[in-house]
Amino acid sequence: MNNTLMNSLLQELCPDEIWQLSDLIKSILRRQMSCLPKGNVSEDETRYPKSPAAMRAFLIKYFCRHYLQTQNSLIKYITSQDFL
């Protein structure tokens, strides 16, 4: 049952195993991120942002590396016996 539920959720939320943000969320994120200045920041600043430019770099890396991976982990957890 849990695999069936997980597969059903994944099929609905990320068809072809590609996570998509809704158009509304994309536009909100683009708008907010475009307000942050661009700038060269160190790798350390992308992990621990302390300036607006570092926050922009952090958000870009976060969404590219982690956000969509987190979705898969959450789906697996909420369809597991531990969650139930």
Q: What span, in angstroms and rounded, lies between the C-alpha atoms of 13 and 15? A: 6
| Whether the predicted pLDDT of 1 surpasses 70 | no
pLDDT band at 73 (very low <50, low <70, confident <90, very high): confident
Q: Which residue has the higher pLDDT, 78 or 40?
A: 40
Q: Write down the pLDDT at residue 52.
A: 92
61: its two tokens? 């890396």
Structure letter (DSSP) for residue 50? -
Q: What is the pTM of this model?
A: 0.50
Q: Residues with Cβ < 8 Å from 84, sequence gap 6 or more?
A: 2
45: its two tokens? 């600043």
Residue 52 Cα to chain centre, angstroms: 20
pLDDT band at 67 (very low <50, low <70, confident <90, very high): confident
